[in-house]
Chains A and B, each alone.
Chain A
Amino acid sequence: EPEVTQTPSHQVTQMGQEVILRCVPISNHLYFYWYRQILGQKVEFLVSFYNNEISEKSEIFDDQFSVERPDGSNFTLKIRSTKLEDSAMYFCASRPHSGTETQYFGPGTRLLVL
């Protein structure tokens, strides 16, 4: 069964550094998402992406964040200058088309900012 994959599984970075989190959505999916989960807390929506543009973003998704679909398979989340409070688990999700509401999640990338 096809799955959403994410790399790396863990990343440690210094405050102020740029990080890029990578996701490979399920191949025939059209809608892509990033969420984050601070340790032990709720899952928070960051951004949704469709037809090569952002369709919705939350107040968390400020100018430090950007997303890109550089080719036909990858979907990336970039944090330009990481802050301590960016430490969290970041989940990518995808869904196939407008008639199907279920989002399928990747295993997550645990980001630790020191």
Chain B
Amino acid sequence: AQSVAQPEDQVNVAEGNPLTVKCTYSVSGNPYLFWYVQYPNRGLQFLLKYITGDNLVKGSYGFEAEFNKSQTSFHLKKPSALVSDSALYFCAVRDDGVRNNDMRFGAGTRLTVKP
């Protein structure tokens, strides 16, 4: 079965600095990878995904993520963080090698951007 790990519970960055939120995955087939963001008392909002093609994917709010097959990683990045980026970020994976298999989430990483 597929799994996804977010090794950091918490990431703190200063406003204007680049940010990285890490994600690694394990699948038997090919991965479909996703990032979602959750603001306080809200549902999950889709940020971006990798299905196939270019390893660098760009998403909402200036976020991007790079698919690295050799390192089985899909880290979320943003060149210049905003205070409003502070939220809980979830990486998710779906394994195309397993029939009727759906998405699994990581434990989440809380991003805090300080002014």
A residues near B, CB below 8 A? 33, 35, 41-45, 48, 55-56, 91, 93, 101-108
Contact = CB atoms under 8 A, between A and B. Distances in A.
Contact of A107 (B34, B43, B108): B43
Nearest to B51: A101
A43 B103 CA distance: 10
Interface SS, B side: strand
Nearest to A3: B43
Interface of B: 32, 34, 36, 42-46, 49, 51, 90, 92, 94, 100-108
B43 A106 contact: yes
A108 B43 contact: yes
B87 to A, nearest CB: 13
A55 B100 CA distance: 6
B105 A101 contact: no
Contacts, number: 51
Contacts of A104: 46
Nearest to B94: A101
Which among B43, B51, B90 has the highest number of chain A CB atoms within 10 Å? B43
B105 A103 contact: no
A101 B32 contact: yes
Contacts of B102: 33, 45, 48, 55-56
Given A101-B32, A105-B36, A42 B107 contact: yes
A105 B42 CA distance: 10
Given A101-B49, A102-B34, A102-B49, A91 B103 contact: no
A44 B105 contact: yes
Contact of A42 (B34, B94, B101, B105): B105
A71 B76 CA distance: 39
A35 B90 CA distance: 13
B109 to A, nearest CB: 11
Given A93-B44, A101-B32, A108-B42, 17 more contacts: A42-B105, A42-B106, A43-B44, A45-B104, A48-B100, A56-B100, A56-B101, A56-B102, A91-B43, A101-B49, A101-B51, A102-B34, A102-B46, A105-B36, A105-B44, A105-B46, A106-B43
